[in-house]
Structure 1
Amino acid sequence: MEVIEHYIQLRKAFPNADEEEEIHTTIGELANHLCCTMRNMNLIMNKFMDHGWIRWSPQRGRGKTSVLVFCHPLIQAAQERFDRLLQGNKLEEAYALASTLPFSIREMLMQGLRGQFGLRSDQGARGRIDTLRIPQETPFETLDPSQAAMWGEVGIIAEVFDRLVQYNAERHVCEPSLAVAWESNEEGTEWTFYLHKGILFHHGRILDAEDVRYTFERIIFDQESPCRPLFGSIHRIETLDELTVCFLLRYPNYMFPDLMSCMNASILPRDMELDPMHPIGTGPYRLTRNHPKLLVLDVFPSYFRGRAYIDRVEIWQLPQSGLVESVIKQNLFPDGQARSVQHEVQGGVYMTFNMRKEGPQQDLYFRQAVQQLMDPQEIVRALPRTNVQAANSLIRDKSGMIEQTDKNEHSEQNEPMNRPEQLEHNHLFLPQASRPRRPVPFADSSLARASKLLQRSCYAGQVIIVWVEEGEKMETDMAWFAQRCELIGLKVSVMPGNPVNAVYHEEFASCDLIYTGEVFDDHLTLSLLTMYTFQNTLLLIALDDQRKRELEHKCRQVVMIQDTAERLRRLEVLEERLIQEALLLPVYSFREEHAHHASLQDYRILSFGMPDLRRLWVKRSSITDQDTASYPAYIPLW
């Protein structure tokens, strides 16, 4: 440990003492603070005095205390050490130092990290190494492709694993990946995939058809697997030879190649038990480190599609202390060499209800009252933001509400999951005194409608707990919502929470309302299908079993349709039905803006918010004669 680290540690032990203030203490007490012997403490104190950091007046004799005066402010000492670590490219040590310091100092130091994110190019004995550093604020819970639900996790899975098929978002078609080709019978009940030769897993073994069978049998034989309903059409898997695998289905599934392109369909090695935090795949990057503060991906030189350009990707966990995106973005490009890339996020922010819990949310009129309170136009007008747009659907660029289906087609589709007349009958049993009082009329029509609906509902004045995905923007939304609720006599209590805990640890089980967001990938139809069948989506976690079964049944009907446009239309109708029954309340869509140094070439954003590492490369300037060069990039926090 360097002497300045000893000084910082000792200075932190006296947080209430000012510089030049006399502190009465003993060498033994100081030694306890630094966990060293008194002899070593005397040596350390001499070094402090040599640097002029302290004044020390030792006193001898039993019961006598010495006088210590700090002359070097903690903030200066911490800044010096922090800067030295950054200069030495010791980002992890700098991060660890900052995390131990008082809040105000920590925030100031962490601003120094902003220039460390982006791409760093170092010339060393082993040649040039290009490292991309990305900030991240949501912790990883699992990198198991069959379990992962957070987009940060999905971004890692996309680089570590491959799938039989890949979706080309530019051409809107499925293309070969691990499989060089595929075919089916006319009925769509038998699909055969032909694998590439010689594809290596990260641990060195060649992929074969048995790995494919193992991957999907692991899912379909596990009753608790959250993605089992997504692959529910699979009846049996046969390996015809080491490069040919055949899927026999229970019913026609004309979306089967599309399903094979989703992240849940990532292929695992059968000879290695999956470690959910250190998985092995065939992708362009292999996971070499997964620490709570740092996840590292190193390039896989033997990747079957050719070596990726970027050598190393580091995902850094930012502290929960309030280091916001603006800290990283601010003054990131002082030379004005930034290029911006706009990313229109498919999906959006929405509210739903915990239908697994008894309460007024079981009442359609109550849900419709909340639907009026969360009026998208009103919230966007009240909380102006440049990157959001009011939405009545999670499907981007979809204008207006989805039209009703032909009444002659699947008439049962238009029957409500909960019938209003049943709900009306139920709330008549409430005594009149227990109903909320009728408020005065409102100029805001959505408030007036919300008030009337609340009066018709079974709401009896109880406090409604609202779980909101933690973060400044989402919590601001809910502060606005709470004010609206108060105006019509609806009592709410807002509880911010971590989406990781909500998905994997049932954090909102005791809550009534859930405010969160959903991000779709480039394949819209597949994303909607996944949202309604993958059990780790927040919408399905909050939905009751009966409605989940009904959604699964409707999705089964969708995959049996051959026409791609008709499949999307059916899923749009399904979304509209959820909106009509106030089970899904879209609020707004949003846009992300990436900024990057002009030297980063082919900077394209994937649907889950990361640059496409398989295409990104660096055009290093001819005038750069330094061994180290930095190319900043602003990547919005996951």
Structure 2
Amino acid sequence: MELADHYIQLRMAFPNVHDDEEWPTTIGELAHHLCCTMRNMNLIMNKFMDNNWIRWSPRRGRGKKSLLVFQAPLLDVASERFDRLLQGNRLEEAYQLAASLPFSLREMLMQGLQEQFGLRSDQGTMGRMDILRIPQNFPFETLDPTRAAMWGEVGIVAEVFDRLVRYNAERRICEPSLAVAWESNLEGTEWTFYLHKGVLFHHGRILDAEDVKFTFERILKDTSNPCQPLFGTIAKIETFDELTVRFALYSSNFMFPDLMSSMCASILPRDVAFDRMHPVGTGPYRLTKNHPRLLVLDVFPSYFRGRAYIDRVEVWQLPQSALVESVIKQDLFPDGAPHAVQHEVQGGVYMTFNMRKEGPQQDLYFRQAVQQLLNQQEMMDAFRDTRNQPAYSLVRDNYGDTREVEKGGLPIREKRMRTQDFITDSSLVLAEVLLKRSSYAGQTLRLWVEDGQKMETDMLWFVQRCERIGLHIDIVPGDPVSAVYHDEFRSCDLVYTGEVFDDHVMLSLFIMFTFQNTLFLVAIDDDRKKELVKECRRIVGIREGGERMAALLGIENKLIEEALLLPAYRFREEHAHHASLRDYNVVGYGMPDLRRLWVKRKPDTDHKKASYPAYIPLW
């Protein structure tokens, strides 16, 4: 143990003793608190005195008391130790230290985190090292590209792996990546891909067609793989030489190149035993460390599309703390206003129902009542958050027909009827009528709400509206990691969460309806899942892209009509960064494009060390 750890341990043993207060104690008691022998206790106490942390007048003999005075405040010693641990990337020890302290001191220590994030540029013996540090407060469950469902996980997968095809969001087309070209027959039942030469995996072997075959056969052979429905049209995979691979399909699939651009289609090496937390790919960054509190990506200098500028990316897992996000954002930019990047998120916040569980949610009238209670415009009026806008679809700018429509046999209008004490809008009136028609019998239902202050605030508003018509709801906060991977909301009746889409919106919508690890599909019953997969398999046989998109939106519209998908609002994120970070461009899933990011150091910057703050939301 470091000397500071011994001091913290001893100081914590006397919580009721004030600084500079004389306190009688025995030598045996001190040795006990320091968990050491009398001899070592004396050595440690003398070192404390050398640092002016204590005054101590030892008295030996049975029953004799020594006088102890604590001079160094616990917060000062703990803060210095905490900072040293962070600077040494010893995160686990830093968090253990913080967790051992009283709550108020722990929160004060967390204030020091804000200086750790962003981009640090250090000059060492090996030259200049640029390190980007990103905070995260949900643990990574898997980095298997065929199973990863959280957008933080998918962001890491995007840096570690490549796919045969990449989607160009600016041009809205699929472009070559690991494959330099591809072609199909007229029926779209055979697709041949020609691989880029000389692409290296992170372990040093050159990629070939057998790796592509291995990647997809791994998916097809595992009936439990959640991405199997995406590639369910594949009947056979053939390799003709080391650079040519052909997929024979059961039926026409004109969306096949788009599917090859999905994260699920990331190419794995066939000669490395797969480790879901330490995967090997061909991407611009290789995973070099994945501990519970720290994930490290180091640049892969031999990347076939050119070396990335940032040398290392560190993702720090933060402890759950109400102050964490505000601490990271607060006072990050002391030398001027940051550059802000507005990112309009495709997808949005929505409610659905646990259709795997018996209950009133199986009743259409009940679901329609909830649909009226979760009135998008009423929610926006209640909170007036300019970052959010009401959404009637998860696809931005596709809000359909918002004219008066018929639902449940009664018209829906935005008319309000004033009473003496409050305003009752017509959505509440209609919700009450629908609830009485339903099988709801007055029981209290459980509503799973994705962790987050905004989400919980939304649902407090929703629960109050429910109570006004006699619907009783208990809020159950939970994290999406546990919900997807550990079936956390199996006992809940309603689910309030969100979906974040990639730049390729058509593919994202397709994945939402077919990738079994999306929260929406986790909540849906097996029969409806099969119907969705069957309909999506029909849609990929449509040759023209616009028609395919319209058909996918048709699925969404049907889910909304059946009150199985209740969009609430879409939101906008704001990334903030120092002006010295250049080419900061937000791509799919809200992550910056790390390959484009570079640093322009000021001429008067300290030669050995410089820091460039950045706030990159990962949750």
Asked if these proteins are the same fold (TM beyond 0.5), I'd say yes
- Answer yes or no: is 1:104 the counterpart of 2:104: yes
- The yes-or-no answer on 1:28 pairing with 2:34 is no
The answer to whether the 8 A contact 2:9-2:34 is kept is yes
Maintained 8 Å contact 1:202/1:282:
yes
Looking at structure 2, the residues matched to 99 and 285 of structure 1 have their Cα atoms a distance apart, in angstroms, of 32
Would the aligned equivalents of 2:348 and 2:567 in 1 still touch at CA under 8 Å?
yes
Residue type of the alignment partner of 2:464 = Q
* 2:558 maps to amino acid: R
Could you tell me which amino acid in structure 2 is paired with residue 304 of structure 1?
A: F
Matched, 1:201 2:201: yes
The question of whether the paired residues in 1 share the 8 Å contact of 2:152 and 2:618 is answered with no
The answer to whether the 8 A contact 2:26-2:63 is kept is: no
Q: Which amino acid aligns with 2:70?
A: F
Deviates more, 1:81-90 or 1:462-471: 81-90
Correspondence 1:546 to 2:509: no
Q: Distance in 1 between matches of 2:618 and 2:186?
A: 46
Name the structure 1 match of 2:275: 275
Contact 1:99 1:319 in 2 (8 A): no
Cα deviation digits, residues 83-117 of structure 1 (max 9, x gap): 45566776665455334322222222222221221
Q: Deviations over 1:100-159 (max 9, x none)?
A: 322222222222221221111111111111000001111100000111100010000000
2:450 pairs with 1:466: no
Q: How does 1:51-450 map to 2 (within 5 A)?
A: 51-85=51-85, 94-401=94-401, 443-450=424-431
* Range with bigger deviation, 524-533 or 101-110: 101-110
Rounded to whole Å, the distance in 1 between the matches of 2:377 and 2:346 is 19
Is the contact between residue 91 and residue 294 of structure 2 (CA under 8 Å) also seen in structure 1?
no
The one-letter amino acid paired with 1:103 is F
Distance 1:63 1:444 in 2: 78
Q: In the alignment, what sits opposite 2:418?
A: none
Name the structure 2 match of 1:581: 562
Residue 72 of structure 1 and its aligned partner are, at CA, apart by 2.2
Q: Deviation per CA, 1:578-626, whole angstroms, max 9, x where unpaired?
A: 0111100111111111111111111001121211011111112222242
Q: Greater shift after overlay, 20-29 or 590-599?
A: 20-29
1:569 aligns with 2:522: no
User: Any conservation in 2 of the 1:392–1:401 contact (CA below 8 Å)?
Assistant: no
Which of 553, 571, 584 in structure 2 is aligned with 1:603?
584
**How big is each residue's C-alpha offset from its partner over 1:450-507, in whole Å with a ceiling of 9 and x where there is no partner?**
1111111111111100111111111111111121111111111111111101000001
Q: State whether residues 103 and 321 of structure 1, in contact with CA within 8 Å, keep that contact through their aligned partners in structure 2.
A: no
Code of the residue aligned with 1:341 in structure 2: it is V
**1:529 and 2:529 aligned:** no
Change (3 A) 1:480 1:27: farther
Q: TM-score, normalised by structure 2?
A: 0.94
Deviation digits for residues 283-340 of structure 1, max 9, x if unmatched?
0100000011100000011111111110000000111122332211111111115211
Asked if 2 retains the 8 angstrom alpha-carbon contact of 1:286 and 1:300, the reply is yes
Which string of whole-angstrom CA distances, capped at 9 and with x for unpartnered residues, describes residues 363-400 of structure 1? 11111111111111111221232311111111112234
- CA–CA separation in structure 2 for the residues paired with 1:40 and 1:262: 60
Letter in 2 for 1:478: M
Matched residue SS, 2:522: helix
State the partner residue of 1:513. Answer: 494
**Any conservation in 2 of the 1:325–1:637 contact (CA below 8 Å)?**
no
Corresponding letter in the other structure for 1:247: F
Q: Structure 2: which 5+ runs fail to align?
A: 410-420
Partner of 2:417: none
Partner of 1:412: none
| Letter in structure 2 aligned against 1:536 | N
Distance 1:30 1:453 in 2: 70
Moved more, 1-10 or 525-534: 1-10
Does the alignment pair 1:451 with 2:427? no
**Aligned-partner SS, 2:435:** helix
How many Å separate the matches in 2 of 1:15 and 1:301?
53
Paired residue for 1:44?
44
Which consecutive residues of structure 1, in runs of 5 or more, have no partner in the other structure? 405-415, 422-439
Q: Distance in 2 between matches of 1:551 and 1:87?
A: 50
In structure 2, do the counterparts of structure 1 residues 108 and 591 end up closer, same or farther at CA, with 3 Å as the change threshold? same
**Post-superposition offset of 1:10:** 1.5
The 3-state SS of whatever aligns with 1:78 is helix
- The answer to which of 317-326 and 609-618 deviates more is 317-326
SS at match of 1:503: helix
90 and 274 in structure 1: CA distance in 2 versus 1, 3 angstrom threshold: closer
- What is the one-letter code of the residue matched to 1:82? F
Which of 491, 502, 505 does residue 483 from structure 2 map onto?
502
SS at 1:139 equivalent: coil
Tell me the SS of whatever aligns to 1:30.
Answer: helix
In structure 2, the CA distance between the partners of 1:232 and 1:98, relative to structure 1 (3 Å rule), is: same
Instruction: Name the CA distance, whole Å, in 2 between partners of 1:113 and 1:345.
Output: 27
Corresponding residue number in structure 2 for 1:619: 600
Code of the aligned partner of 1:352: T
Residue in 2 that maps onto 1:559:
540
**Equivalent residue number for residue 492 of structure 1:** 473
Residues 314 and 380 from structure 1, CA distance in 2 versus in 1: closer, same or farther, beyond 3 angstroms? Answer: same
Q: Is contact 1:393–1:586 with CA below 8 Å preserved after alignment?
A: yes
For the 8 Å contact 2:318–2:324, the answer to whether it is kept is: no
What is the CA–CA distance in structure 2 between the aligned matches of 1:489 and 1:529, rounded to whole Å? Answer: 37
Whether the 8 Å contact between 1:401 and 1:576 is mirrored in structure 2 is no
RMSD: 2.1
Percent of residue pairs identical: 72
Letter of the 1:351 counterpart? M
Task: Look up the SS of the partner of 2:588 in the other structure.
Answer: coil
Go from structure 1 to structure 2 and tell me whether the alpha carbon gap of 1:469 and 1:233 turns closer, same or farther (over 3 Å shift).
same
Q: Aligned equivalents of 1:277 and 1:216: distance in 2?
A: 20
How far 1:60 sits from its partner (Å)? 3.1
Residue 613 of structure 2 aligns to a residue whose secondary structure is strand
> Which amino acid is 1:386 matched to?
T
How many residues get paired? 606
C-alpha separation between the residues in 2 aligned to 1:84 and 1:185? 62
